[in-house]
Amino acid sequence: MLRIAHRSRPLTYSTVLDETNQGHATRDTLYRKLEKQLESNKKVVALFTSFTWPVAIEDPDADMLEEVLQNTDLKGKELVLLINSPGGDALAAERIVNICCSFSPNGFSVIVPKMAKSAATMVCFGAKKINMSKTSELGPVDPQIPIRDENGNIVRYLAAHEILESYEELMKKANQTTKRVEPYL
């Protein structure tokens, strides 16, 4: 068996596979170490999503987080959400913030080890404190609206601000015309 100096257990095929797949047993030890480094009244819960598209924060992630928190002993502890995600659905991000606030009434904080983009940035904005390293990143909040074909498949995304600007421009033209307004509406 191979041993690496900083490792507390031998490096076997199963430990490599466990770490590669981000197995809970591997991460649980790290979360406990992090909790020991934080103040004693903190409880760390992780929310990680893949950075391989099309994985993103969605409603089921909010449901899963709520279930995890229901089964976590937070008695008087502040929730610390460890978040790493490229983003996702804005409504799911809002739900996550509401869920975190309901389980940590005095507010929750976040730790961004690498990136929290788009909807994940929105989750961070809902926290009372954002902890980041020198290389951690937040991203722009740029809601995207999926455009679907006749079969319901997503073919592309449009920035929400583009849709709003187009609407405002058409309404302005409709209000200024002395002819038929239907083409603008």
Residue 51 has pLDDT above 80, yes or no: no
Please indicate, yes or no, whether residues 127 and 167 belong to a single structural domain of this protein: no
What pLDDT is stored for residue 9 in this prediction? 53
Pairing verdict, β 144-148 and 154-159: antiparallel
Whether residues 129 and 159 share a domain: the answer is: no
Residues 123 and 169 in one domain: no
Same domain, 122 and 43: yes
What's the pLDDT at 115? Answer: 94
Distance CA 124, CA 111 (A): 9
Q: Does 111 lie in the same domain as 92?
A: yes
**pLDDT at position 88, please?**
87
Least confident of 6-15, 49-58, 145-154: 6-15
Whether residue 82 sits in one domain with residue 6: no
Maximum average pLDDT range among 15-24, 48-57, 148-157? 148-157
User: What stretch of H or E contains 42?
Assistant: strand 42-48
- The verdict on 32 and 121 lying in the same domain is no
**Mean pLDDT estimate for the chain:** 84
Percent of the chain with pLDDT over 90: 43
Query: Are 88 and 148 in the same domain?
Result: no
pLDDT of residue 102 exceeding 80: yes
Residues 134 and 164 reside in one and the same domain: no
Residues 119, 82 share a domain: yes
CATH number at 84 reads 3.90.226.10
Tokens of 177: 């015309």
Average pLDDT on 52-77 reads 88
Residue 2's pLDDT is what?
Answer: 39
Give the model's confidence band at 8: pLDDT under 50 very low, under 70 low, under 90 confident, else very high.
Answer: low
**Counted domains in the chain:** 3
Report residue 39 as tokens.
């103040």
Same domain? 7 vs 32: yes
DSSP 132-181: E-TT-EE-----EEEEE-TTS-EEEEEEHHHHHHHHHHHHHHHHH-SS-S
C-alpha–C-alpha distance, residues 174 and 151, integer Å: 32
Domain end call among 139, 155, 175? 139
57, 88: one domain = yes
User: How confident is residue 33, by pLDDT bands cut at 50, 70 and 90?
Assistant: confident
> CA-CA distance, 96 to 91, in Å (whole number)?
9
Quick one: pLDDT at residue 1? 39
Residue 29 belongs to domain spanning:
1-37
Residue 116 has pLDDT above 90, yes or no: yes
